[in-house]
Amino acid sequence: MALCSSSTSPELQCCCFDNLRGKNLSFNEPNQFLRIGDCYSNKGRVPVQASSQLSGHLEGSFMGRKRLQEPPSHRKLEFVRTLLIDNYDSYTYNIYQELSTINGVPPVVVRNDEWTWRDICRYLYEENAFDNIVISPGPGSPACPEDIGICLRVLLECWDVPILGVCLGHQALGFVHGADIVHAPEPVHGRLSEIVHNGDRLFHDIPSGQNSGFKVVRYHSLIIDADSLPKELIPIAWSNSADGFSYLGTLQSGEIPDAYQSQSRQKILLSDISTQIKNGSYRHSIYSNRMRREVLMGIMHSTRPHYGVQFHPESIATCYGSKILRNFREITEDYWKRLRSPFVKERNVHYTGAESLLLREITRTSRSVNNSDELGREALRPRQLFCDLGDRRFRIQHSRRFEIQPSSIGVKCLKLTWRKFDHLASTVGGARNIFCELFGNNKAENTFWLDSSSTEKGRARFSFMGGKGGSLWKQVTFRLSDQSDVKFTSGGHLLIEDAEGSIERAYLEEGFFDFLDKELLSFHHEKKDYEGLPFDFYGGYIGYIGYNLKVECGASSNHHKSRTPDACFFFADNVVVIDHLYDDVYILSLNEENTPMSTWLDDTEQKLIGLRASSTRQLEEQNLHAPTVSRNKSAFISEVSRGDYVNNVENCLKYIKDGESYELCLTTQLRKRIGEIDSLGLYLHLREKNPAPYAAWLSFSKEDLCICCSSPERFLRLDKNDLLEAKPIKGTIARGSTPEEDEQLKLQLQYSEKDQAENLMIVDLLRNDLGRVCEPGSVHVPNLMDVESYATVHTMVSTICGKKHSNVSAVNCVRAAFPGGSMTGAPKLRSMEILESIESCSRGIYSGSIGYFSYNRTFDLNIVIRTVVIHEGEASIGAGGAIVALSNPEDEYEEMILKSSAPAKAVMYFD
C-alpha cells in the first residue's frame, strides 16, 4: 500500500473514501469491487486512506425488529452456526478448524466478494441460517474496498448479530465506526506479545499482564489508532509495542513472574476503566500518557455484540486462543437466550432442512468466475453440512471441486505383482550401484529416481527407481496455454507418448490437475495386491509439477512463461524399491488385469542377483571422475544483480510494512550455458556432496531435460491411511568448520527470532491448507521448529499432520496446498501476486514439486529447492529466501547465494 507523503500524521492516505467523510455511507455491491490482481503495478497498489467517519447506526432497521417478536427461549444452543467471511487470507481455515470443534458444526466459509448484500440479508434474516459471524484476517487495509469486500457493510448494518473480527476484521470494526488505521510502531509478524485485558467476557478465565502466560501471535503492520476511537468502541486489550518474543524464547526464558507488579497494574487499569464506563465518561485518550507505548489488541462495541482482536487466536503458538473462540460461542449463546426469537426456539428442529436450502441457494446465487479462479473460490466455498445431534458428530460434504467424482474415462483394472529380496541392497553396493547397473545405460534417458540419499534420523526410508519399460509406461507432458493474455487461464496442451512411441495430443480446458485427478480415479485395484509392502508407492505417476501451475490453485496469473514444461510425468509400471532401514530390495510390476505378464520381474531379479558391488563401483567411479576437464569455465549469471536483489528485498519490506503480506519468499534464477555434460554423473556427485532425504533424478529425453535435485524439504504426503503430512523448512544457516563453531551456529539458528518468525508463519499457513481438506479437529503439529543438520547447512523444520476427509481426492489435497507455502509466503494468494510483480523471470520447475502419485491414490511430493535443471544446453538453479519484517537486505542476498552454492559447485565440477 503506497503512502502519501506527510510530515505531520502517520495516517494512511486514500482517495477511495475521501468523498465519504462526514456523509452517510452508501456501499457498492461487492461484485463492483476491483479484483486484487488489478491493483498491482510496478509502483504498488492503489493508494488508500484508512480514516473515515462512517455513519449509520441502524438499531431501528427491519433486521432488528424481526428478532424481537416472540417470548425468550431458555434452551441452550446445542451447536452454533458461524458464517466465516474470508478476506483472501491463508489462516482462515485455522479458524475454521477451531470453530468446527468448538461450535459442534463446521462454519460456512465465503470470501468477502462472493456474496452480495442481498445474499447476506437473506441467509441471516430470512433463512435464519447463522448465529454469529467471524471476519477473518487478511492482507491490506479495511480502507481498501477490494481488501475488505462486504465486511464493512456487515459490521455497519448487522448490529443485531454477534460478530468477531480477527486482525483485518478487528481493524474493520474500528474503521467502520470512524477510527483511524495507521502504521504500527513496527511491523510484527510471527512474533509473540504479552496481553493485558480488562476482564471482558471475551477474555473470561484468561490471565492477564506481564508473565501471566497469556502470549499471543501477531501478524500485522497496521493498527487502530487508540486515540481516535469513537465513544461507541471500548478498548478491552492491549500490548506493549516494544515487547516481542520469539516462540522458543518464551519457552526457554525461565523468567520469574513478578506477580505483585502484574496484578497491581492490572487492578488499577480495570478499576479506572470500570469507573469511567459506569459514569459514561470513558475515553481511551485519558490513558494515553500511561499507555503511550501500548498497542490496542482488542475492542468491543458498547451496545452491539461486536468484538475485535488484533492478534491471531488461531495461531499454533497463541496461548488461550481456543478459549477466546469458546468464549465467543458462549457470548453468542447468551445473546440469543436474551432475545425473543422464534429462530432460537425452532432452530434445532429445522436445522437440516434450512441448511440444505442454504447450500442450494449458495450454489445457485454465487457469481460465476473465470475458470482459473474457480478452484480458488470453490476451495473455500461453503460446504453442505449435516449434523447428527445424537452423538454430536458431523460430516462435511465438500464442494463440487473438492468432492470425489466418478471418472468420465474408462476404468483400468490394474494387477500388481512383486518380489522381495532381504538384506540385498548393501551387498550389491547400495542404491547408487543398483540404479547405475539397471538404468544407467544410454545416459539414463527416460529414467527416474526418487532418492532418499539422506536417511539418518529417520528422515526418509525408501528410494524408488525405474525407467521406460512395460506396456503401461507413458510420458505425459503439459504446457500452459501460450496465448499472450495468460491471466486467469489454467488451460493448456497435453502430449502423451506411450510405450510404443505413439503420440496423442489434447487441449485441457480444466488444466493438468483435473486430468491427473480423473486418471487416478479411473484405476481400479485390489488392496490385497500390496498387502505386506511397507511403503505407499506401487506404481503410477512419477514426475514434477512446475510452479506456474499455481494458476490452477487460485493464483490470478503467470506474468512469466516457463521455459520447461509446466508438468511432466512418467507412468511407471515397473519399479525397484530400496528399504534403507532394513536393507531390503523390492521389485514391482503393474499390468492390466487379464493381460499377459511381462518378463521384467524375472529379468530384473537375475540382474540383481548377478550384480557385484565391486565391479559396479569401479564403473561408477569411471563415470564420475572421467569428465573433469572443462571446456567452459564461465560462472553462473544471476537474473538480477546484487544491487537489484537488495532493492527487491527492500520492495518486499515496503509491502510488508503496508500490511500487504506477512512474509514474501523472494527468489531468482542463476543460469549457465553448458556444453556436453554427464548429467547422471553430475547428479551422483551432487547426492554425494549434498545428500538429502527428498532428492530426485528425472530424465525426459524428448524434452532435452534432466533434473538433479537434492531437496531436504517434503511438501506434502498422503499415506494409505489417509494421513497427510507436510514438513516445511524456514530458517537456514551454513555449517561450521569446527564442531564447536558448528554447534554455535546451530544454536544461533534455533534461537533466531527472525527464523522462528518465518517458520511459525509457514506452519500456520500449512495448517490452514491442510485444514481445507482434513477432518475438523485432526490438524496438529507434532514437531515445531526442529533444527536438522545436513552436509552443508542447518535448517529449521516443522511437521504438520491431519486426517484427510473421505470426500476429498488425493489430487485435490495437492491442489489445496500448492505451491508450498514455504516458497510463497503468507497470505499465499496476495504474496504470489506481489512476487509476480517483483521477480523478473519464471521459476519454472524450481519452487514446484517432484514426487509420485500412486495408482492407489497415495502421493509424496517434495519442494524443488537445491536443484540443477539442465535444459537445452543450459543449467539453471533457483534460489531465494523468505523476507519478513526483521529481514536485512544484504543478509538475504548472502542467504540466497548460500542456498545455491552446493548445486552450483556440482555443475562447475563437471562442466
Which of residues 24 and 631 earns the better pLDDT score? 631
| One domain, residues 608 and 742 | no
Closest CA to 460 of 536, 368, 564: 536
| Confidence check: pLDDT of 456 > 80 | no
Query: pLDDT by residue (tens digit) across 790-800?
Result: 888 899 999 99
Domain annotation covers residue 429: yes
| One domain, residues 712 and 740 | no
CA 226 to chain CA mean position, Å: 32
| Confidence check: pLDDT of 6 > 90 | no
CA 26 to chain CA mean position, Å: 36
Which of residues 111 and 68 earns the better pLDDT score? 111
pLDDT band at 635 (very low <50, low <70, confident <90, very high): confident
pLDDT in the model for residue 211: 87
| One domain, residues 678 and 758 | no
CB of 92 within 8 A of CB of 109? yes
Query: pLDDT by residue (tens digit) across 816-838?
Result: 999 999 999 999 999 999 999 99
| Confidence check: pLDDT of 682 > 60 | yes
pLDDT in the model for residue 410: 61
Mean pLDDT taken over the chain: 80
CB of 398 within 8 A of CB of 805? yes
Domain annotation covers residue 745: yes
Q: Which residues are catalytic?
A: 167, 312, 314
Average pLDDT on 451-460 reads 78
pLDDT in the model for residue 454: 79
**Domain containing residue 318: CATH number:** 3.40.50.880
Average pLDDT on 526-534 reads 93
Q: What is the number of domains present in the chain? A: 3
Query: pLDDT by residue (tens digit) across 688-711?
Result: 999 999 999 999 999 999 999 999
| One domain, residues 700 and 839 | yes
Average pLDDT on 101-121 reads 95
pLDDT in the model for residue 144: 95
pLDDT in the model for residue 477: 98
Looking at the DSSP bridge assignments, the partners of residue 802 are 724
Cβ-in-10-Å burial (0-12, 13-18, 19+) of 255 comes to exposed
| One domain, residues 579 and 694 | yes
Average pLDDT on 728-740 reads 90
Query: pLDDT by residue (tens digit) across 190-238?
Result: 999 999 999 999 999 999 988 899 999 999 999 999 999 999 999 999 9
Domain boundary among 805, 838, 863: 805
Average pLDDT on 417-425 reads 95
Residue that has been written with the C-alpha cell 485435490 in this structure:
812
Query: pLDDT by residue (tens digit) across 470-517?
Result: 899 999 999 998 754 445 467 999 999 999 999 999 999 999 999 999
Q: Express as a percent the part of the chain with pLDDT over 70.
A: 74
Supply the pTM of this predicted model.
0.82
Average pLDDT on 542-556 reads 95
Domain annotation covers residue 22: no
pLDDT band at 633 (very low <50, low <70, confident <90, very high): low
| One domain, residues 477 and 598 | yes
Q: Would the CA dihedral through 185, 189, 193, 198 be positive or negative? A: positive
| One domain, residues 529 and 454 | yes
Domain annotation covers residue 106: yes
Average pLDDT on 137-143 reads 96
Domain boundary among 301, 323, 340: 340
Cβ-in-10-Å burial (0-12, 13-18, 19+) of 627 comes to middle
In this structure, of 49-58, 72-81, 490-499, 648-657, the range with the lowest mean pLDDT score is 49-58
Average pLDDT on 555-579 reads 95
| One domain, residues 758 and 701 | no
pLDDT band at 62 (very low <50, low <70, confident <90, very high): very low
| One domain, residues 716 and 733 | no
Domain annotation covers residue 620: no
Average pLDDT on 183-189 reads 92
Residues 6+ apart with CB under 8 A from 654: 44
Domain annotation covers residue 336: yes
Residues 6+ apart with CB under 8 A from 467: 438, 439, 444, 446, 447, 448
Distance from C-alpha of 643 to C-alpha of 426, rounded to nearest angstrom: 49
Residue 819, preceding peptide bond in cis (omega within 30° of 0): yes
Query: pLDDT by residue (tens digit) across 342-379?
Result: 544 444 433 333 443 444 443 333 333 233 333 333 33
pLDDT in the model for residue 597: 83
Question: Which helix (H) or strand (E) segment is 213 a member of?
Answer: none
Query: pLDDT by residue (tens digit) across 311-338?
Result: 999 999 999 999 999 999 999 999 998 8
Query: pLDDT by residue (tens digit) across 229-282?
Result: 999 999 999 997 555 666 665 555 433 223 223 333 333 333 443 444 444 443
In this structure, of 257-266, 664-673, 752-761, the range with the lowest mean pLDDT score is 257-266
pLDDT in the model for residue 161: 96
C-alpha cell at 504: 496423442
Domain annotation covers residue 232: yes
C-alpha cell at 818: 500448492
C-alpha cell at 6: 506527510
Q: Are strands 233-240 and 306-309 parallel, antiparallel or unpaired?
A: unpaired
Average pLDDT on 46-72 reads 35
Which of residues 358 and 156 earns the better pLDDT score? 156
In this structure, of 145-154, 184-193, 285-294, 703-712, the range with the lowest mean pLDDT score is 285-294
Domain annotation covers residue 53: no
pLDDT in the model for residue 596: 83
| One domain, residues 687 and 560 | yes
| Confidence check: pLDDT of 78 > 50 | yes
Distance from C-alpha of 807 to C-alpha of 773, rounded to nearest angstrom: 9
pLDDT in the model for residue 343: 46
- What DSSP assignment string belongs to 278-321? HTT---GGGGTTTTTTEEEEEEEESSSSEEEESSBTTSTT-TTH
| Confidence check: pLDDT of 595 > 90 | no
Domain boundary among 766, 788, 805: 805
Distance from C-alpha of 103 to C-alpha of 125, rounded to nearest angstrom: 20
Q: Whole domain around residue 769: which residue ranges?
A: 723-805
| Confidence check: pLDDT of 91 > 60 | yes
pLDDT in the model for residue 594: 82
Query: pLDDT by residue (tens digit) across 856-880?
Result: 999 999 999 999 999 999 999 999 9
**Domain containing residue 430: CATH number:** 3.60.120.10
| One domain, residues 318 and 455 | no
| One domain, residues 649 and 761 | no
